[in-house]
Amino acid sequence: MNRSKAPRIAKEIKINHIEPFIIKLKNSIPVYMIPTGTQPVVKTDFVFGAGSWWQSKPLVSSATNALLSEGTSKNTAEEIAGKLDYQGVYLNSTSDLDNASVSLYSLTKNLDSILPLISEIIKNPAFPDKEIETYKEHREQSFITESNKVANMARKNFARALYGSGHPYGRSLSVSDFGKLNRKDIGVFHAKHYNSDNCRIIVSGRFNENKLIEKLNEFFGDVDWHASQPKPVFPFRKRPSAKRLVLIPKKNAVQSALRIGCVMFNRTHPDYPGMMVLNNILGGHFGSRLMQNVRQKKGYTYGIGSAVIPLKNSGYFVIVSELAADYQEAAIGEIYRELDKICNKPVSKKELEHTKSYMLGELLRAFDGPFSWSETIKSLIEHEMSTDFYQKISETIQNISPSEILELAQKHLSVNRMYEIVAGNVSEYKPLKYRT
């Protein structure tokens, strides 16, 4: 290998053979199987449409998911933890705005013996009052601590500005919400959303497919956990703030947290693949324009970046940074200059080629190994999309032109669409004239 020469920049890749095998259990739960890998380990995800979008009261979604393994009709929290530890199983429960999941990592040889307990955790949690009170106490203390951080102040107010405080994507917690959380609401939410009609299973790693389906049918394939009533549908309307500049003062703050962005769209929108390329040029990786200008050249911040965040029912674009009070006005001015530049001047072919190479490498990384592959497939399943999405992404990255990027920027990143949220030392902040 000649290390004096830079490696060749990849210009073309094909995302082939990423389709998982799909088999339905007796009760029609789809199982997405990715039988690959070199080690005798397996990851199993149980995915439910049970994120905070579906809750009628704050905290209910996340509490339900977090408390699943804190006691069942047959086992206490301590007994569950002991059995998982004995089998060498790592159990992880997560929930977000749209979905919730229970994921377990285990040796392949131990999967059969642990599935009965996982079935019990998912289908028959007890939600003991003691565990609920412990959860509320810990979560409330964490919430109070985190709420005082300028980054969380900016994040909360940014979501509220984009969607409105009554929208699931714009709601925020308050301390009083913890006292209102109760066992009845958690139990009702579990019954409505953790059932076979609302479940999808993803299995990745080394396993025997026929044996696995037999075991999954045994513990998850019956109709005994069929939904007793249709899943509720909540019609929500975005009610964005009329104010595009929001300043949140925090006395004695060393730094200010910044959010600049606007409502956009989810992965199903035809412009989404192109916006991924545009975002990477602007602020999506270390070599992006925002990093090179605001961090490397000007030294206004340790970190800055941008992202296109896809949600199931919406999406948004955001620029994120934390800035010293002395530099915040100058830094924000540079951010708007970069937005103006990308909306008015085509990107150079050299910069575009480097961005394409970086993105193609990251795209391949999404399928590097069975667990990464399963996470990628999981994100598509949660948003009800087909696996050809990544082939479309690959094709867009390889074929998009500077003129197309310019058109997308002018269409979606106009300064007049942006909301600006600054939390921290804002007493003497002088916003740019067109932001007032």
Tally of domains in the chain? 2
Residue 385 inside a domain? The answer is yes
Residue 235 inside a domain? The answer is no
251 and 213: one domain? Answer: no
pLDDT at 14: 60
pLDDT at 205 over 80: yes
pLDDT at 436 over 50: no
216 and 251: one domain? Answer: no
428 and 386: one domain? Answer: yes
pLDDT at 15 over 80: no
Identify whether the C-beta of residue 287 lies closer than 8 Å to the C-beta of residue 418.
no
Residue 16 inside a domain? The answer is no
Residue 13 inside a domain? The answer is no
pLDDT in tens, 78-114: 999 999 999 999 999 999 999 999 999 999 999 999 9
203 and 251: one domain? Answer: no
199 and 259: one domain? Answer: no
Residue 408 inside a domain? The answer is yes
Identify whether the C-beta of residue 314 lies closer than 8 Å to the C-beta of residue 351.
no
Nearest CA-CA partner of 323 in 236, 401, 217, 420: 420
Strand-pairing partners, residue 123, are none
Identify whether the C-beta of residue 435 lies closer than 8 Å to the C-beta of residue 333.
no
104 and 172: one domain? Answer: yes
Span 370-391, average pLDDT: 89
CATH number, position 157: 3.30.830.10
Phi-psi region of 252 (alpha: psi -120 to 50; beta: other; left: phi over 0): left
pLDDT at 17 over 80: no
Span 128-143, average pLDDT: 96
308 and 384: one domain? Answer: yes
pLDDT at 67 over 80: yes
192 and 281: one domain? Answer: no
- Please give the residue that has the higher pLDDT: either 186 or 255: 186
The pTM score is 0.90
- Residue matched to tokens 């080690």: 39
Of 5-9, 119-123, 147-151, 204-208, minimum mean pLDDT range: 5-9
Residue 225 inside a domain? The answer is no
Span 17-41, average pLDDT: 91
pLDDT in tens, 308-325: 999 999 999 999 999 988
424 and 372: one domain? Answer: yes
> DSSP assignment, residue 231?
P
Residue 230 inside a domain? The answer is no
254 and 211: one domain? Answer: no
Span 287-292, average pLDDT: 94
Strand-pairing partners, residue 125, are 72
pLDDT at 232: 67
pLDDT at 11: 53
188 and 290: one domain? Answer: no
- Residue matched to tokens 């990851």: 43
- Between CA 375 and CA 378 the distance in angstroms is 5
Where does a domain end: 170, 203, 220? Answer: 220
173 and 316: one domain? Answer: no
Residue 141 inside a domain? The answer is yes
| Residue 364 token pair | 């391949």
Q: Which domain holds residue 313?
A: 245-435
Report the share of the chain in percent with pLDDT over 70: 93
Span 322-329, average pLDDT: 87
pLDDT at 368: 83
Element (H, E) at 51: none
The mean pLDDT of the chain is 91
Strand-pairing partners, residue 420, are 245, 260
- Please give the residue that has the higher pLDDT: either 16 or 352: 352
